[in-house]
Amino acid sequence: MSSELMELYAQHIKEIKDGQIVKGKVVRISGNEVVVDIGYKSEGFIPKDEFLWEDIDIGKEINVYIENTEDEDGFLVISKRKADRLLGWEKIIAEYKEGSIVEGKVARIVKGGFIVDICGMDCFLPNSLSTFRGKERQVLGQNFNFMIIKINRLRKNIVVSRRDALQKEKEEAQRRLWQELKEGDIREGIVKNITDFGAFIDLGGVDGLLHVTDMSWGKVGHPSDILKVGDKVKVKVLSVDKEAGKVALGLKQLTEDPWERVEEKYPVGSKVEGEVVNIMPYGIFVELEPGVEGLVHVSEMSWVRRSINPSDLYKVGDRVSAVVLNVDKDRRKISLGTKQLQPNPWDDVEDKLPVGSVVKGIVRGFTDYGAFVEVLDGIEGMVHVSDMSWTRRITHPQEVLKKGEEIEVKVLAVDKDAQKIALGIKQLRPNPWPEIVERYKVGTEVEGEVVKITNFGVFVKLEDELEGLVYMSEMDKSLLDQLKPHDKVKVRVVKVDPEQTKIGLSMKDLSSGDSQEESDNEQ
């Protein structure tokens, strides 16, 4: 080669020295080595593994570190990894500090942790700060944000933390979210935890409470019936209390309130069908659709039965038909009836039981003032104690009647609207009081039997089922202490009131002078 050519060649050769970082170009790939031209008299060779996950393209320009311009064999020795590390270190030192968040790639697993490539610099990620436990292989080659925990300038090494980066990101996300959150927002979150009273939803750094009452317009037995941990769910922000750090969420509010059009869907008089969801002593609750329930009160279950135990007729889960009786949208109440699906037997009761007719019936029950008698299938009438006997003093209906016995009664009155029938027993016989007036005229003296002694007088039996009353003012008080039930006494009739069915008696000024009881005592 001539001296001119040598001089021209020398002018185009870069002047490099060990320890420099220069630009090079990939010219070819030979086996496991990448050949790089840096404009020097010889090309350099770099092992493929120094490129990690980078693409190796012919013509690609890269930074290389000059380890040796000429080794013992006369070859140029270069390194891409060292160049990246040095440049990365300079970039990190210039742009970041301890506490900074930087992006890096998990490069490889080492003892006690991982090597993370940040700007080409190898940084150490301890296992305790990684959050990668159990998924070490899966994260290799993946990019994550890390926090720079420590920079050792002397040794040129850096320790990073994924855990602290996540915490800082979470805090930043919380701060932004608290600033953005407002009532009425529709947000997507993940079910974080489920309790008996609701579910906590992670909105992306801020947890909100979705109460069980806001999960569905219908009844929810337990929040786990609707959601499970890990579910993605859209919710509506109902309220935000930044001072208390509380967010209330709703799920049912994303759909229309079923009570908005309840009057259109369930007009009064319409026939509906639903499922029994609750049974109470006063009635059953029927779910017509999720969130809409109606009450069938016991009074609307039967036209004729007065005493009904709903649990004897229905069980939870039964499908029932009913008629809408009333709709109160504001109070969210619907009244239903099942008896309206059957003919009302009271409609023609006046034809079946005309006033004055005599019928047979079964004694079904008692009150202090009368007895209930079933005169038609399911239809009962009342026999008042005052209509059981013309003359007998009856204090309780069970003195003359027994439950379950068949008796004959007379229909006294029928009130179809009030569903009441008045019955009588004494009306089956003629009124004896006109004859009693004749037999017991005022002034008549008769003998009777002491029946009962009270603080206002003495009841005396004159004949079967006929008593009179001797008031205290009509007897000697000293005699009162000597009297006892079943004693025979002489009395005089002082008053007969057929309207009130009462006879007034006296034990004073008797023609014999003394009562039979006194005579017996003297003997």
465 domain-assigned: yes
The per-residue b/e assignment along 260-277, b for 16 or more CB within 10 angstroms, e otherwise, is: eebeebbeeeeebebebe
pLDDT (0 to 100) of residue 402: 94
Residues 357 and 403 in one domain: yes
Residues 153 and 105 in one domain: yes
Q: Which two structure tokens, joined as six digits, stand for 311? A: 């649990």
Residues 414 and 446 in one domain: no
Torsion over CA: 383, 388, 393, 398 (sign): negative
**Residue with the two structure tokens 């039965």:** 305
Residues 298 and 352 in one domain: no
Using DSSP's 3-state secondary structure scheme, residue 75 falls into coil
Q: State how many domains the chain has.
A: 6
Q: Are 317 and 275 in contact (CB under 8 A)?
A: yes
- Cα-flanking dihedrals φ and ψ of residue 373, to 5°? -125, 125
pLDDT (0 to 100) of residue 219: 81
pLDDT (0 to 100) of residue 515: 43
pLDDT (0 to 100) of residue 4: 52
Q: Are strands 61-68 and 113-118 parallel, antiparallel or unpaired?
A: unpaired
Nearest of 345, 415, 431 to residue 382 by alpha carbon: 415
2 domain-assigned: no
pLDDT (0 to 100) of residue 513: 46
pLDDT (0 to 100) of residue 5: 44
pLDDT (0 to 100) of residue 419: 87
7 domain-assigned: no
173 domain-assigned: no
Question: Which CATH number fits the domain that encloses residue 458?
Answer: 2.40.50.140
Residues 353 and 335 in one domain: no
500 domain-assigned: yes
Domain boundary among 58, 83, 108: 83
234 domain-assigned: yes
Q: Are 89 and 127 in contact (CB under 8 A)?
A: no
pLDDT (0 to 100) of residue 520: 42
Domain that residue 149 falls in: 96-167
Residues 25 and 63 in one domain: yes
Residues 308 and 235 in one domain: no
Which stretches in the chain have pLDDT values below 70?
1-14, 73-74, 512-523
Residues 379 and 354 in one domain: yes
Residues 106 and 36 in one domain: no
91 domain-assigned: no
195 domain-assigned: yes
User: How open is the CA angle 78-83-88, to the nearest 5 degrees?
Assistant: 170
Residues 413 and 445 in one domain: no
Q: Are 123 and 158 in contact (CB under 8 A)?
A: yes
Residues 357 and 419 in one domain: yes
Residues 189 and 248 in one domain: yes
Give 91-124 pLDDT, tens digit per residue.
Answer: 888 888 999 999 999 999 999 999 999 988 889 9
Q: Which two structure tokens, joined as six digits, stand for 192? A: 């974080």
Domain boundary among 371, 393, 428: 428
- Cα-flanking dihedrals φ and ψ of residue 94, to 5°? -80, -35
Domain boundary among 316, 341, 366: 341
DSSP 460-513: EEEETTEEEEEEGGGS-HHHHTT--TT-EEEEEEEEEETTTTEEEEE-SS-TTS
